[in-house]
Structure 1
Amino acid sequence: MQKSAKLKRSLGLWPIVMLGVGYMTPMVVFDTFGIASNEANGHVPLAYIVALAAMLFTAFSYGKMVRAFPSAGSAYTYTQKTISPHLGFLVGWSALTDYLLLPMVNALLAQIYMSALFPDVPAWVWVAGFVAMITVVNALGANSTANFNTLLVIYQIVCVVVFVILAIRELQGGMGYGEVFPLEPFYTPDMQMSAIIVGATVLCFSFLGFDAVTTYAEETPNPVKTIPRAIFLTAFIGGVIFTVGSYFTQAVFPDISQFKQPDATSPEIALYVGGKIFQWFFLAAALAGTIASGLASHASVSRLLYVMGRDNIIPKKLFGYVHPRTHTPLFNVIFTGLISMTAVFFTLEIASSFISFGALIAFTFVNLSVIAHYALKNKEYKSPISFLTNVIIPVIGAAFVAVLWYNLESSSFTMGMIWLGLGVIYLLYVTKMFKVQPMDIHFEEAGESTYIEENETPAVTREA
């Protein structure tokens, strides 16, 4: 009988960073500009800096936890190991709303872009084609996914650079503030910090994806060193792209009154700055961003499902399987593709409403896991440095996440709670009303992946 393989440790630091940046989608800075400018009263780049600062606290907590538990399970594993197996399951279940539905959102976005260009083609054709491409690339292996994703991310970065050059030309010609480096996007005398914070709250959701790099912890040779760096670099690089892109956009467009569609500003920004040809180049980059995010999110959820399957809380034979040749959780990749295909039955608003809830659940419990593991369990809080890193920073991270909770749309909260309720029902079933543990917990990274290639050194195990 052929045994399941293990995930292959073949990804270096930068391919993982590119997967994280691709998940975040650099071009989203232009999609959300109108909304953010309205909320921040014309100070979008400052709002991005505040949002980045807020996210870096939670990114720090992710880095701490991945050093303790270098597993592909991310927030699910951290909560399971440090607080409660039952609660860990519910965190993983909730996080699925973020990870599992983002590929569907990307399929819907691709369908919207392509239907606008080719309105006579049935919408389902674009959904099916997009999902099939993403599924096949992910099934071929992590390296294929990472390489393709890197090309798409580079294309988006090139597009942002070209936009900045064109924006400088327009500023020199008197457009917008009429100077290349105006101070106004960062500061004006009548600026209100309350508006900046509201804008930052909206923009924090642009950073969703820096946490997804933790799901590649079992596919890099040195996860304890690589993944924390990848988390920080992903958030930081994304923050730089967002800040620079929004700064020059804000400089050229001090207010949003000239936009016909303030809630979807990308096409008009490109047209006003570079003309029709650049608009096509720009929109192609937006589509590339959708594909990159689709690849990264598809890969991430298949890894989360793999760990939950390996722990036997969802059917292990199906979800805990890794193909011995491609070293991918093949059934999970296909399963995610099938879920994504249901995008033909949903609207973008409904699919998107689930995502924020799952992400905030994960963020909250990663910060709490740092306190539970390092401060409460290991008693690492007696020195000033340990108290800062193991108590103060995660508390600040949790506080920032609490602000996001407060500003979460009611529809997202309602639908998220319905999904969480279903998770509780399933948990009650598998634990026989909490009389037994919901899973056979394993942390040995090679323990559940018994297929080891010849001449390959088995992974060193670590006890929880």
Structure 2
Amino acid sequence: MIDTHATAPPREPLARQLARRKPIEQMVAGAGTDGTANSGKLKRSLGVWQLTMISVGATLGTGIFVVLGSSVPMAGPAVWISFLIAGVAALLSAVSYAEMAGAVPVSGSSYSYTYATMGEGLAWVCGWCLVLEYGVSVAAVAVGSAEYVNETLNIFGLSLPAALSAPPGGADGSMINLPAVVLVLLAMVLLIRGVSEAAWVNTIMVVIKIGVLLLFIGIAFSAFQASHYETLLPMGAAGMSAAASRLFFSYIGFDAASTAGEEAKNPQRDLPRAIIASMAIVTGIYILVAIAAVGARQWDWFDGTEAALLIILQELTGAKWISLIFAIGAVVAIASVVLTVLYGQTRILMTMARDGMVPRVLGRVSQRTGTPAAGTLICGSVIAVIAGLIPLGQLADATSIGTLFAFMLVNLSVIYLRRARPDMERTFRVPLFPYVPLLGAGMCVYLMVNLGLSTWWVFLAWMAVGALVYLGYGRRHSVASLAARRETVDSDDARPAN
């Protein structure tokens, strides 16, 4: 056992510590322990079905309910091709995640993969990006719940008071986004109780939101007109490509299953299957929704149309119950994303805590529930406050850079590990190596470069804060670095004196 409270040996040079890699065998053998008394093991209770639903739940969110209104005017009837292009771009990174999840079957997702291949410095940057991505994503998605809760209540002639529908600062006297707070706290309680229960609740929610979208597809296809596709590219190939870049972010979330490495029954077999299966499900649904929507309405009808799917159903059926079903479906979609992304956030922080990168309390596993209860309570409470009281504004856009940076590192990790350990057992191998991971990394860089300047400033500010946190805490408490330094001291003590 590593006694991190004992007098530590001299600190190693910063450059050497930043480059220090954590052996994969040590990661796998030590899953559930950080060498200190506060460690514990998570319960292996998730099969391939639950893992797939976690990724689908985190990916298939509210975006598809509103994304067509802004994407169809850019691409025209070819918007379904834009979805396909974006899906292929996301798949380039997804297959890299699948290979790394099978080769490094531990919690921590891209943070752990980067630690094993590129060293502590880039692993910290990746983990810090994920803290931003997951935390702000949960808050940003939860904030949208007030609108859909109001839509549901409006059907019964009710509505939430303005003071309880948005963070402070609005002209309507808003004070708190109460639905967002309640949603995050409910997800937090469910995750504390146990991952198995949370996974089944998420599965039910995913089935509901897929059912709502299939309902739309069925009704929209009943009014399908092939003439709407006579001019496939009215805005040219450039418009189709621009729409694909925007739609790429509708696929973010497929990596959620990779945070469940320690809770999967058979992680080396099931994690790659879950990641690829979730991408196939989400891409298929997106394309079918796009084809059905444009088949039911001319592409220029979507320009400036909000909640296009809901309006199409109302116009085609004339039934008010459609509004109720879609409003409830949107709330369920939000709840599913909040639950699965909060789950991923807590597991990444747990892994970082075990490595000494963040306070150890975030890595403690409850003996009663088999979950990182303390970390989930802290993380959920902070996010609930952010969602309820702080207008996120463009901070949410910075999650895009953090996500793309993490994707890029995973693609590069595959290349490194293939070169460094070609004989290592892999349950899934990226096809067409090294072209696929190189294309995946290149696509991430391209999308990052095309993000707005204000988003970059927010991201750089977050990285500056992260550097201070690492230098002030992570560098001093790094378990891997401390173990290496102790081994050096022990070997020096054992060396015969001249």
- Which bin holds the TM-score, normalised by the shorter protein? 0.7 to 0.9
Distance 2:302 2:448 in 1: 32
1:253-268 to structure 2, matched below 5 A, reads 253-257=297-301, 261-262=304-305, 264-268=307-311
Deviation at 1:133, TM superposition (A): 1.1
C-alpha distance in structure 1 between counterparts of 2:379 and 2:190, whole Å: 13
Equivalent position SS for 2:301: coil
Deviations 1:256-303 (A, max 9, x none): 4366x4355344234233332212211210111000001101111000
| SS of structure 2 residue aligned to 1:372 | helix
Corresponding residue for 2:16? Answer: none
2:113 to 78, 81, 84: 78
Contact kept in structure 2, 1:105 and 1:351, CA below 8 Å: no
Residue 199 (structure 1) aligns with: 243
Q: Does 1:133 align with 2:186?
A: yes
Count of paired positions: 425
Partners of 2:185 and 2:381 within 8 A in 1? no
Task: Provide the residue aligned with 1:214 in structure 2.
Answer: 258
Q: In the aligned structure 2, how far is the partner of 1:440 from the partner of 1:420? A: 22
Task: Give, in angstroms, the shift of residue 25 of structure 1.
Answer: 2.3
Partner of 1:219, secondary structure, is: coil
Contact kept, 8 Å, 2:61 with 2:337, in 1: the verdict is no
Query: Quick one: structure 1 residues 183 and 16, their matched pair in 2 at CA, closer, same or farther if it must change by over 3 Å?
Result: farther
Does structure 1 residue 225 correspond to structure 2 residue 260?
no
Q: Which residue of 1 aligns with 2:410?
A: 366
**1:440 corresponds to which letter in structure 2?**
A
Distance in 2 of aligned mates of 1:130 and 1:42: 36
Deviation string 1:322-369 (CA, Å, 9 cap, x unpaired) is 111211111121122112222122335334223212111110100111
SS of the aligned residue for 2:370 comes to coil
Distance 2:253 2:82 in 1: 19
Shift of 1:389: 4.5
Q: Given the alignment, which residue of 440, 456, 459 partners 1:413? A: 456
Distance (Å, rounded) in 1 between the aligned partners of 2:233 and 2:343:
46
Alpha-carbon distance between aligned partners in 2 of 1:442 and 1:221, rounded to the nearest angstrom:
32
Residue 95 (structure 1) shift: 1.4
Go from structure 1 to structure 2 and tell me whether the alpha carbon gap of 1:353 and 1:378 turns closer, same or farther (over 3 Å shift).
Answer: same
Question: What's 2:72 paired with?
Answer: 37
Amino acid at match of 1:93: W
In the alignment, the residues of structure 2 paired with residue 258 and residue 243 of structure 1 have an alpha-carbon distance, to the nearest angstrom, of: 16
Matched, 1:97 2:97: no
Change (3 A) 1:152 1:70: same
Unaligned 5+ runs, structure 1: 172-177, 444-464
Residue 169 of structure 1, aligned match among 219, 222, 225: 222
Structure 2 residue runs without a partner (length 5+): 1-35, 154-158, 166-175, 484-498
Q: Which TM-score applies when normalising by structure 1? A: 0.85
- Structure 1 pair 65–153 and aligned structure 2 pair: CA distance change class (3 A): same
Contact 1:85 1:437 survives alignment (8 Å) = no
Change over 3 Å in CA distance of 1:386–1:208 after alignment to 2: closer
User: Aligned residues: percent identity?
Assistant: 26
* Residue 430 (str. 1) matches residue 473 (str. 2): yes
CA distance in 1, matches of 2:332, 2:287: 20
Give the 5 Å matches for 1:109-124.
109-115=144-150, 117=153, 118-120=159-161, 122-123=164-165, 124=176
Amino acid at match of 1:35: S
Match of 1:321 in 2: 364
Q: Select which of 195, 199, 212 maps to 1:142.
A: 195
Q: 3-state DSSP class of the match of 1:42?
A: helix
1:60 to partner: Cα distance: 0.9
Q: Calculate the TM-score normalised by the size of structure 2.
A: 0.79
Contact 2:86 2:247 in 1 (8 A): yes
Aligned counterpart, 1:440 = 480
Task: Tell me which moved more, 13-22 or 41-50.
Answer: 41-50
* CA distance in 1: counterparts of 2:64 and 2:429, whole angstroms: 36
| C-alpha contact (below 8 Å) 1:380/1:390 kept by paired residues | no
Match of 1:399 among 442, 445, 457: 442
Is 1:333 matched up with 2:373?
A: no
Distance in 1 between residues matched to 2:447 and 2:455, nearest whole Å: 12
> Is residue 270–residue 282 contact of structure 1 (8 Å, CA) maintained in 2?
no
Contact 1:104–1:351 under 8 Å retained in 2: no
Residue from 65, 90, 93 that aligns with 1:55:
90
Q: Partner of 1:446 in structure 2?
A: none
Distance 1:413-1:88 versus aligned 2 partners, 3 A rule: same
Q: Which amino acid aligns with 1:312?
A: G
Aligned to 2:7: none
In 2, are the aligned partners of 1:4 and 1:324 still within 8 Å (CA)?
Answer: no
Equivalent AA in structure 2 for residue 402 of structure 1:
V
Map Cα deviations across residues 373-417 of structure 1 (whole Å, 9 max, x no partner). Answer: 212x23579xxx999644211101111212211322333222111
- Give, in whole Å, the separation in 2 of the partners of 1:360 and 1:410: 16
Alignment check: 8 A CA contact 1:370 1:390 kept: no
- CA RMSD, Structure 1 to Structure 2 (Å): 2.7
In the TM superposition, residue 239 of structure 1 has moved relative to its aligned partner by 0.4
Distance (Å, rounded) in 1 between the aligned partners of 2:452 and 2:314: 32
Residues 328 and 229 of structure 1, relative CA distance in 2, 3 Å threshold = same
8 Å contact from structure 1 (residues 5, 322) kept in 2:
yes
Equivalent position SS for 1:281: helix
Structure index of larger Rg: 2
Distance 1:106 1:386 in 2: 34
